[in-house]
Amino acid sequence: MSCHLPSNKSKNGKSNKNTINIALAGNPNVGKSVIFNQLTGLSQTIGNWPGKTVEKMEGYLDFLGYHFNIVDLPGIYSLSTYSLEEIVSREYVVSDDVDLIINVIDATNLERNLFFTFQLLELKIPMILAINQMDLLRKRNLDLDFKELEKIFKLPVLPLVAVHGTGVHQLLEEAIELVVYRHPHSHYMRRRSKASSHHGHHYYRVEHIHERSDPKVNIQKTFEFPNLFEITNFGKEVELKISVLIENIDRYTQKFSSCNYPSRFLAIKLLENDSEVLKIFTENQEGSRIIELSKGYREQLEELHGEDINTIISSEIYNKIKKVVDFVLITKAKKNVKRTTVSDFIDHLTTHSIFGYIILLLVIFGIYFFTFSIGDFLGGLLDDRFTIWSNFIHANFGENNIWVKIIWDGGLGGLFGAIGGVLVYVIPFFLVIEILQDSGYLPRAAFLMDRVMHSLGVHGKTIIPMILGFGCNVPACAGCRIMETEREKKISVALTSLIPCAATMTVVLGLVGRYLGFYWILILFIINFTVIFIVGKLLNKTLPGQCTELIMEMHEYRVPNFKVIIKQTWVRSKEFIFKALPIIIILGIVLEILLIFNALEPINTILYPVTFLWLGLPSITGVFLIYGILRKELTLVLLSVLANSLNSSLIVLLSPVQMIVFSLVTMLYIPCFATIILIAKQTNWKYAAQIAILEVGLAILIGGIIRFGFLIFSGF
């Protein structure tokens, strides 16, 4: 629901008198995150918007005696309802929490960036335009007339080169100036006066409604909002209808007072048939009447222009922007000659019909190799440490002490397992993702794979989390949030969870690779990808809805910003450490308790028909497979432990067929526990359970088929 009750921010101790809340908004890839990093440093936290699967980046800094809370909104192109990110962003921006928007604009792509600016203007929030990448623009012998821009928008407009940090602090000075001195009726000032007076919450709420609903009151002498009618004029016919709608909305202001959107914004969105705004209006009778009215208007306008309303309005905005850009863009030299840059060359190579795919394979191999080699190295070090400490503890407190077992073997063992088995893979992996994302490679992969992915019911973007899945499924599933619709998210997480991750690969390499050779690894991979294909097809058939088409911006390549990459890697790892590790530790304790009471012994018996009779594996593997849910490579680790204790080797313990079946089952049978949690976060628990069950079923089915296939063939 797009309505916000005024949230009482002062509950958060820090945010009272001198706090300024800033939202960073802008298109994707305009350098927003660089600015955010420079402003907030290491104070950032990463989380989700309440109840949504959209990432929320927050940070703070203190500057000139003010405390700035900065929220980095997701990069979006407009304030429609195309994706969840757009809805979340616009709801947040109009909430009482925001004093000021900093709209980051890419100077080299002015027209499209200003489209979003025009939409933000409609929200009537104090705003600063930060024009980034001015250095690139000047390199092209172009410049901007900032004075004219300020005049046109009646907003502070600042040049910025965020990668060098130029202009970032002027932003804050301008923010203070704008919020504190020039706009005395901002949320900020209201909070201030509230802190110093005894008026209750209610009083300010009323004042707030009044202010927002009447534009005349809203425009202060000291701070002037741009005349929207002048700037964002949609043409006579459209404006006429908008003004009638505004009148109607204003008449029943009390009815829609629970939302913070200005009437004009509501009117435009009503015309555009915006589903979220319609929800606000369907709540009462007057609203329904206004909806009817807007529907009539929409039909009239569409009839008149022979186009649908969104196209009409977008065209009008783009026409305006063209005029603005023509006016403010200064060409210094004669026409600049376009030359092929290194970026163009790499772009050509990575989207080439042959080399493109070769590079894609190399990238996947690179991710796997990097994650695996660093993770394996660090994990090995940690495991050695833990074994030494373990022996020490066992020697001192007795191996069979129940508390030692629960706390040490279970809790700390789980912790070390999580650090040594998961975290050491996750951190290098985050590093690779950030490099890939920052350089701009991933959209190229989507471009190449779009056709293939379409046959699985999703568009090319799905390949991005899937590529990441080769490193670790856990963050890769979280990465599925880039998919626009619920349906695509569901298919994406399912496909991603089936990608063999670095941990799974240890099992395959350690068992099949070591004893049977590369040839069999290839076969296992082919089976794995066939399964992915089948699951994709299956979900495509069963999930309601249709496959949407790919619409994606292809950014130019650029040299990754080292600082941003390191900070992002740290922020993401921090989130993983605090959110996923506790769960893993608790699970470790639970498993240990179950082991103490021999509760797992029956599992072997229960699983006996499946493991022994159907798959032909030793029945002890039942417990190993259960452990594998926690960490996939545990299946192999436990198998080796068993082999050691029996003074034999794996090759004696398992026949070649058993090895293949065991590896295959490990590859497919279930996403690891952390992955399941993330699937549930992206979709819901029911779906996560369904996926888990589906994968277990497939693993058992295919494992059995292979086993019996071997039996039959060897029989001949």
Partner 1 sequence: MVSIDILYKGLNMKMLQKSIQNKENQANGTPLVKCLTECEKGEEVVVLRVNAGRNAKTRLANLGVVPGVKITKTKNAPFKGPLEIIVKGSALVIGRGLASKIIVECNRACKN
Min CB(346)–partner 1 separation in Å: 14
Place of tokens 């080797």: 649
- Span interacting with partner 1, options 189-197, 300-308, 577-585, 696-704, rule CB under 8 A: 300-308
Among 80, 117, 133, 473, indicate the residue that binds partner 1 (CB under 8 A).
80
Complex with partner 1: residue 40 or 80, whichever CB lies closer: 80
Q: How far is 67 from 335, CA to CA, in rounded Å?
A: 46
Tell me whether strands 100-106 and 19-26 are parallel, antiparallel or unpaired.
parallel
Q: Which two tokens stand for residue 166?
A: 């130029």
- Span interacting with partner 1, options 130-138, 454-462, 512-520, 636-644, rule CB under 8 A: 454-462
Q: How far is 112 from 89, CA to CA, in rounded Å?
A: 18
Report the candidate in 709, 716, 704, 702 with the shortest Cα–Cα distance to residue 616: 704
Q: How far is 643 from 654, CA to CA, in rounded Å?
A: 10
Cβ neighbours of residue 269 closer than 8 Å, sequence gap 6 or more:
261, 276, 277
* Contact (CB, 8 A) for 157 and 149: yes
Element (H, E) at 450: helix 442-454
Min CB(322)–partner 1 separation in Å: 9
Report the candidate in 581, 592, 596, 662 with the shortest Cα–Cα distance to residue 627: 592
Complex with partner 1: residue 199 or 451, whichever CB lies closer: 451
* Contact (CB, 8 A) for 553 and 29: yes
Report the candidate in 80, 169, 187 with the shortest Cα–Cα distance to residue 126: 187
**Does 439 engage in binding with partner 1 (CB under 8 A)?**
no
**Does 452 engage in binding with partner 1 (CB under 8 A)?**
yes
Local structure of 470: helix, strand or coil: coil
Min CB(643)–partner 1 separation in Å: 46
**Does 307 engage in binding with partner 1 (CB under 8 A)?**
yes
- Span interacting with partner 1, options 105-113, 293-301, 602-610, 646-654, rule CB under 8 A: 105-113
Among 78, 260, 371, 437, indicate the residue that binds partner 1 (CB under 8 A).
78
**Does 97 engage in binding with partner 1 (CB under 8 A)?**
no
**Does 108 engage in binding with partner 1 (CB under 8 A)?**
yes
Among 264, 269, 405, 459, indicate the residue that binds partner 1 (CB under 8 A).
459
Complex with partner 1: residue 375 or 443, whichever CB lies closer: 443
Among 52, 454, 558, 579, indicate the residue that binds partner 1 (CB under 8 A).
454
Min CB(294)–partner 1 separation in Å: 16
Angle at 49 between CA 43 and CA 52, to 5 degrees: 150
Element (H, E) at 619: none
Binding track over 531-570 against partner 1, x by CB under 8 A: -----------------xxxxxxxxx--------------
- Span interacting with partner 1, options 452-460, 501-509, 564-572, 642-650, rule CB under 8 A: 452-460
Min CB(492)–partner 1 separation in Å: 16
Place of tokens 């628990």: 685
CA distances for 254 relative to 201, 278, 444, angstroms: 18, 17, 50
Among 15, 58, 61, 82, indicate the residue that binds partner 1 (CB under 8 A).
82
Which residues would be at the binding site for partner 1 (CB under 8 A)?
A: 77-78, 80, 82, 108-109, 111-112, 115, 272-273, 306-308, 310-311, 314-315, 318, 351, 353, 356, 443, 446-452, 454, 459-460, 548-556
